Structure 1
Amino acid sequence: MSGIRGMGSVKWLAIIILLCFIQVSSQGAISKNTLVVESLSPFEWSSEFVNLNGGHIHGRVLLQARSNASRLLAVKGDRRDPLDSFQKYRGGYDVTNVHYWASAGFTGIYGFAIGVAWLLLGVLVTLGACCKLCCCNHARVAERRSAAYYWIPRILALLLSLFAIGVIVTMYIRNRQFHTRAFKVRDTIAGSANDAIGAVRNVTGTLSEVDTITSKYNIPGLNDGILGNTVNQLNSQANNIDRIVGDNIRNLNKIINAIQLALIVLLSVALFVVVAGLLSALLGWSTIFFLIILIGWLIAVLTWILFGVFYAANSVTSDTCQAFAEYLEAPANTTLAELLPCVDEATSARASNVVKQGVKNIVVRANGNLNGLRQAGAGVQPSVSLPALCDPIGPAPNLVYPTSCPSGTVTLAGLPEVLAPYVCNVEPVTTTCLSQRRFVTPSDDAAIRDFSAAGRSLEIIIPTITALTNCSVVYNTFDTIVTQQCPPTIESIRNLWIPLLLLSVALTLLSFDWIFANHRNKREHYASRRDPEYTNVVKP
């Protein structure tokens, strides 16, 4: 994780683009790489109990790969990397690679280039106007023109202004929709992280309870600090996920709100300038027209640049959804763990081993007690035959759960109920109890109940640990994003960059039209002041 943390502000730009601009890409073929499955060395087994010094063979579909080389996702061959002499970037989807961001950002070059060119043109026009005002101040000949000469710029200003106002109002609405959609994607990521953390906390809580229950029985594999170490390792993983995702979500909130605020301010200023420019064109307010033209020109520059940013974000969106889709096809070695980390594979695999083998060892210990009770039951009249105890965990090395129980056996959860009719309320067992076929001492009953509670608790969390080991929480999150979040999010981002393009064009045309309208308004003003009898030269 250190690579992405070192990128500073670039990291947070990466996160917002990744989480907010997600769409289904129609480009690129889905990789057909086979799953990469890691295995651990087998456990060594004692004659009766499980030895936990090793690890059983356990396959995991990796999100966080141990391999040095990660499989490339969403590989593009048509993008230029400005940081690599504009060579084609072929590194694939990698949020930690600055060359990926450079190549993706370069797709918005049209907006950036037009924005910069428009800014430079504005500087040249301003310098030319200043030069003309200061150095070329000469008498102006007043001329009579047709009404169309003066009204055509005004009519164009009216039409373009109405169009721009419509686009601005639309963007206000679309901005709110985008804001809502971005937070839905954020909530999906946060919810997934909370589910993973909650699952870990549930497992560690159960392990702590089991540790307390079994500590007085000295069951191999569940004592000697094994459960405590497992709890500490899982809690450390949960804290790591909470910290990474929590930091990302907090910064994501700031950036989403900043984008919304920036668009609101930009659109508000643009709306004011468009309305002021329209009134100035229609009413001939030449005094403030220069300021309106200047501000409108700068707003046009900003909208062109912002269009380039959103268009580049569209490229990242395509890559993101394509990468997620390829991951769902083959969830092997990828860099997606930088976005939503799983519990470490070694830690979750060891926790799975501890839990499954802990259940087996509890069954072994309970069977030992049950054998003694069978002997005691055989001595009462009539004799009592106790059923065999079912082991829900398959044999090593796979430790498959659950396994089917043979007919006539009893589970750990049901064992206390089977023994309940035979429990004597005093210890040692009295002849009165034996005459009533109550041969189980209270201490034996308490031990069996403890074994039952501990074993059942461990059984309940096995599916949760399996989900953590297989990283299915992250897999399901990516599946949800691809199938449910992509279509509405691509629509929301398209509803922003297309209006931005239209607004940029409208403001660009309005800037030219305002210049002509202001110029012709002055000509009309000069012509109206001309002496009817004889004055053909008017001082500026």
Structure 2
Amino acid sequence: MSSKRRNPPLLLLLFLSVSISVLFVSSSAAPGAETATFHFRAPRFPDFSRAGHGLVAPFGIRRHLADGNSTEAGDGNPTTLVLAGERTRRKDPSDNLKIYTGGFNISNQHYWTSVSATAAPFFLVAGVWFAVFGIVLAFTCLCYCCCPREPYGYSRTCYAISLIFLILFTIAAIAGCVVLYTGQGKFIGITSDTLERLALVILAAVMLGLAFLGFLLNVVHFVVNCSLVILGWILVAGTFILCGVFLLLHNVVADTCVAMDDWVQHPTAKTAMDDFIPCVDNATAQETLVQSKQVSFQLINLVDTVLANFSNRNFPPQLGPPLNYNQSGPLVPLLCNPFNSDLTVKDCAPGEVVFHNATEAWKAYVCQVSSSGICTTPGRLTPSLYSQMSSAVNVSYGLYRYGPFLVELEDCTFVRRTFTDINASYCPDLRRYTQWIYVGLVIVSAAVMLSLIFWVIYARERRHRVYTKQFMTGGGGDHNKGPGNI
């Protein structure tokens, strides 16, 4: 026997069951009268753009006009909104330094070049510092090695001023590290990125240690080793680059927050986000919800029709499969339909099973079958029929349970609610603490950079001062002079 005979399709079983029920129950129908049969058809989504359905958008289009306030001069066209227009007005290097006016648009390269230009000064400072200070160090080393001179003569004013500024910039570096540490702690508390937090903590600790160590070595009259200066030279350049990166991050975060707020406040306007967040209008979304309810209603009706007119019927033995497959035992409970025919909410009748326990309850009514598809044990559902009914229940439950949520995705209600929550709960802290981080990095970078300069100046003046005193007292020589010292 073929597989089709053993596992008859559900629609064929339905057709045969309804036909047999008409012969047994509706024998009084007039000859030639049209026999009412149940045909399950997939719901056809109407074209809502046709006349008679109201002015609504076709399914799958972008966001459209919902009320008269979003039209221009009553011509029915949606208004165009520039997201974060005021905040994103920046000079665009890729457009001859013209002011960028396209607003927040991550698909526009001019937006990225304009926002990246805000971080360019820090990258420029890092490059200039690395080049100029490197040249000065190289020139100093060449002069020291090739043209050695006795370090006599010094300026008391320069000595005092360099010491004062060294103290001030060391304090500034410590303050910058505190701001950086606090800002990154708050920022990572929001983003939960442990690796990034570890990197910033290490950076703050290294810069703080470098500033304090250099200050300590100078104040207690130890020599400042060249390797320490070179380390500071490289770290300052890297920290200035990080300043630019976090300034860029801060500006992008702030632009995004303002753009999300603008998009939420103007739900019917045409914006740059439409390419990434396509939304249908409310009328189309509600029609989709109606169609999902209709599909769920028809699926449940289909399952209950099969149970009532096929599985729970005792057909004469001579009919044989697929109508009579030796079904026996207690009747299978029907599935509760949550909707009436007009799609209003309906209460379950006594004895009906609901979505949550239907498949489990029906397992008790599944019989074991022979190779020909005949039940060999008591039961009213074959494994094949049970599997098909379970699939129908799952589809119907999915439409019933998640239909409203999918509609919220369609008309962007869910997205707007999410953006509102992000704006209220995360955006203020993100903007504040990314600013703290880049401000802390700026303070640390500038303070350590100037500290390095005054390390060298102060170390030179102190060495010359010591040599001058020794020369005046007749001691001669410089005890701090060495190949690796400044």
Change (3 A) 1:50 1:169: same
Mean CA deviation greater in 314-323 or 359-368: 359-368
Question: Could you tell me which residue of structure 2 aligns to residue 493 of structure 1?
Answer: 434
In the alignment, is residue 91 of structure 1 matched against residue 102 of structure 2?
yes
Q: Deviations over 1:187-231 (max 9, x none)?
A: xxxxxxxxxxxxxxxxxxxxxxxxxxxxxxxxxxxxxxxxxxxxx
Change (3 A) 1:394 1:295: farther
Q: How does 1:4-403 map to 2 (within 5 A)?
A: 51-52=41-42, 54-56=44-46, 65=62, 73-75=83-85, 78-142=89-153, 146=156, 150-183=159-192, 256-286=193-223, 288=225, 290-331=226-267, 336=273, 353-359=291-297, 362=300, 392=339, 403=344
Change (3 A) 1:342 1:179: farther
Partner SS, residue 80 of structure 1: strand
Change (3 A) 1:340 1:270: farther
Residues of 1 paired with 2:480 and 2:425: CA distance? 69
Q: Deviations over 1:149-198 (max 9, x none)?
A: 54442343233213312321332232122111123xxxxxxxxxxxxxxx
Deviation of 1:278 after TM superposition, in Å, equals 0.6
Residues of 2 paired with 1:394 and 1:465: CA distance? 22
Residues of 1 paired with 2:37 and 2:413: CA distance? 35
Partner SS, residue 286 of structure 1: coil
Deviation of 1:311 after TM superposition, in Å, equals 1.8
Change (3 A) 1:327 1:57: farther
Question: Quick check: 1:55–1:353 contact (8 Å CA) kept in 2?
Answer: yes
Deviation of 1:334 after TM superposition, in Å, equals 5.2
Question: Could you tell me which residue of structure 1 aligns to residue 454 of structure 2?
Answer: 513
Question: Quick check: 1:63–1:336 contact (8 Å CA) kept in 2?
Answer: no
Mean CA deviation greater in 269-278 or 86-95: 86-95
Give the counterpart letter for 2:458 in structure 1. A
Question: Could you tell me which residue of structure 2 aligns to residue 42 of structure 1?
Answer: none
Change (3 A) 1:302 1:394: farther
Deviation of 1:481 after TM superposition, in Å, equals 0.4
Question: Quick check: 2:152–2:465 contact (8 Å CA) kept in 1?
Answer: no
Q: Deviations over 1:5-30 (max 9, x none)?
A: xxxxxxxxxxxxxxxxxxxxxxxxxx
Over aligned residue pairs, what C-alpha RMSD do you find? Answer: 4.9
Question: Quick check: 2:207–2:444 contact (8 Å CA) kept in 1?
Answer: no
Deviation of 1:369 after TM superposition, in Å, equals 11
Deviation of 1:320 after TM superposition, in Å, equals 0.2
Question: Could you tell me which residue of structure 2 aligns to residue 215 of structure 1?
Answer: none
Deviation of 1:294 after TM superposition, in Å, equals 2.5
Deviation of 1:529 after TM superposition, in Å, equals 1.9
Partner SS, residue 471 of structure 2: coil
Question: Could you tell me which residue of structure 1 aligns to residue 376 of structure 2?
Answer: none
Question: Could you tell me which residue of structure 2 aligns to residue 414 of structure 1?
Answer: 349
Residues of 2 paired with 1:535 and 1:390: CA distance? 106
Mean CA deviation greater in 257-266 or 332-341: 332-341
Partner SS, residue 135 of structure 2: helix
Mean CA deviation greater in 321-330 or 57-66: 57-66
Question: Quick check: 2:162–2:457 contact (8 Å CA) kept in 1?
Answer: yes
Deviation of 1:274 after TM superposition, in Å, equals 0.6
TM-score (norm 2): 0.60
Question: Quick check: 1:167–1:502 contact (8 Å CA) kept in 2?
Answer: yes
List alignment gaps of at least 5 residues for structure 1. 1-45, 184-255, 371-388, 396-401, 405-410, 418-441, 444-449
Question: Could you tell me which residue of structure 2 aligns to residue 384 of structure 1?
Answer: none
Give the counterpart letter for 1:181 in structure 2. I
Q: Which is bigger in relative contact order (C-alpha 8 A, separation at least 6)?
A: 1
Question: Quick check: 2:338–2:348 contact (8 Å CA) kept in 1?
Answer: no
Question: Quick check: 1:348–1:465 contact (8 Å CA) kept in 2?
Answer: no
Change (3 A) 1:524 1:484: same
Question: Quick check: 2:100–2:111 contact (8 Å CA) kept in 1?
Answer: yes
Deviation of 1:107 after TM superposition, in Å, equals 1.3
Change (3 A) 1:161 1:357: same
Higher share in helix: 1
Change (3 A) 1:511 1:54: same
Change (3 A) 1:48 1:92: farther
Q: Deviations over 1:244-291 (max 9, x none)?
A: xxxxxxxxxxxx445323322322221221122111211222251x33
Residues of 1 paired with 2:59 and 2:233: CA distance? 52
Question: Quick check: 1:52–1:354 contact (8 Å CA) kept in 2?
Answer: no
Question: Quick check: 1:413–1:456 contact (8 Å CA) kept in 2?
Answer: no
Q: Deviations over 1:394-445 (max 9, x none)?
A: 86xxxxxx647xxxxxx3523657xxxxxxxxxxxxxxxxxxxxxxxx99xx
Residues of 1 paired with 2:85 and 2:456: CA distance? 47
Mean CA deviation greater in 529-538 or 325-334: 529-538
Change (3 A) 1:179 1:89: same
Partner SS, residue 529 of structure 1: helix
Residues of 1 paired with 2:191 and 2:61: CA distance? 26
Structure with bigger gyration radius: 2
Residues of 2 paired with 1:347 and 1:271: CA distance? 58
Residues of 2 paired with 1:487 and 1:539: CA distance? 53
Residues of 1 paired with 2:106 and 2:224: CA distance? 51
Deviation of 1:122 after TM superposition, in Å, equals 0.9
TM-score (norm 1): 0.54
Q: Deviations over 1:301-338 (max 9, x none)?
A: 22222222222222212210122112212346656588
